[in-house]
Amino acid sequence: MKQSHLNHERRKMPRVHADRELRVALVAPPMELTLIELGLGGFSVRSPKALPPETTQMFRFEGVDGSVAQLTVLIRRCDGARGPGYVIGCEFANPTHPAVGRAVGRLMDQITAALSFS
């Protein structure tokens, strides 16, 4: 499993690179995104449109097992310099809340299982 070292010094928790096993979308306005990496504290996605930093958004995650989680996140970064679209860096709004922790843990389990056995 490959850990991301991209701008790791800003992060409180490590992230793992993901493939397209998990579906991620912005809830409003509805927009499909591509998950790049995920960690217990946040994630990054590739987006066709810029999302303004320091704003709060609702994201919908659909796991490989069909489970769905809607989580509130804080947009931390929006970088358009890395290929097509924008790379959006996000932090979970309340990562220490038990329900958020459980939801993110389930998503992490699915990513690591998909990466380990694919």
Q: What is the pLDDT of residues 103-118, one digit of tens each?
A: 998 888 887 775 444 4
Q: Which residues contact 110 (CB under 8 A, 6 or more apart)?
A: 21, 22, 63, 64, 65
**At 83, is the pLDDT very low, low, confident or very high (cuts 50, 70, 90)?**
confident
Q: Which domains does the chain have, with CATH numbers?
A: 8-117 (2.40.10.220)
CA distance linking residue 34 with residue 47, whole number of Å:
7
Spatial CA neighbour of 43 closest among 71, 64, 2: 71
Least confident piece of the model among 1-15, 26-40, 76-90: 1-15
In the predicted structure, residue 2 carries a pLDDT above the cut 90: no
pTM to 2 decimals? 0.79
48: Cβ–Cβ under 8 A, 6 or more apart, which residues?
A: 31, 85, 86
Average pLDDT across the chain, whole number? 82
